[in-house]
Amino acid sequence: MTLNLNGEDIAQIVIGASALAVPISFSEEAWLSAITLPLPNLFLVFLLSIGFLALYAYQSLFQASVKHRLFVYVFRIGLAYLLTAIVVGVVLLALDKLPLLTDPVIAVKRIVLVAMPASMGAIVVDSIDKE
């Protein structure tokens, strides 16, 4: 059971996440939605993100064959989401829209909201050029 993860894979995830994180992070609608979105809805957005990542990775990256590679499958989904969240956080920080010290709840909400579409970009670009 090998991870088969290299620098190219990580770069593809970061580039794919950036492709959607950048334009959405500039949206005032995303900033304001994070303020008013209730926590149960935010959790649903997070679950939808993970669900979409899992479904796409299952069909595209793993060609519906995860029986003997379950750890690798789960690791790949977790890594894609984590790297996406980091990219989104850095972009929001650069725009001065990530109030980590003054309002960490809003900061996390913004990351989760923007990470939903950005994570899809990450996994799609990661699946390019896979056998």
Kindly tell me if the per-residue pLDDT of 4 is higher than 90. Answer: no
Percent of the chain with pLDDT over 70: 95
pTM of the model: 0.90
Orientation angle between helical segments 39-56 and 104-126, nearest 10 degrees: 10
In the chain, the amino acid numbered 126 is D
**Would residue 88 count as lying in a domain?**
yes
Residue 3 lies in a domain: no
42 has pLDDT over 70 = yes
| Residue 131 falls inside a structural domain | no
Q: How many domains does the chain have?
A: 1
34 lies in a domain?
A: yes
Asked if residue 54 belongs to a domain, the reply is yes
Which one, of 105, 98, 90, 121, lies nearest residue 38 by Cα?
Answer: 105
Give the angle 54-124-19 at the CA atoms, nearest 5°: 125
Q: For 55-111, how does the pLDDT look when each residue is reduced to its tens digit (9 = 90+)?
A: 998 888 788 788 888 898 899 899 999 999 999 999 999 999 999 999 999 999 999
Q: Which pLDDT value is given to residue 126?
A: 84
pLDDT at 1 exceeding the cut of 80: no
Residue 91 lies in a domain: yes
> Do 81 and 119 contact (CB within 8 A), yes or no?
yes
5: in domain: no
Q: What pLDDT shows up at residue 9?
A: 87
Structural domain boundaries enclosing 71: 13-126
> How far is residue 71 from each of residues 10, 47, 53, 77, measured CA to CA in Å?
18, 19, 15, 10
Residue 6 lies in a domain: no
Look up tokens 């789960």; give the residue. 74
Predicted confidence at residue 41, as pLDDT, reads 97
Looking at residue 65, its pLDDT comes to: 82
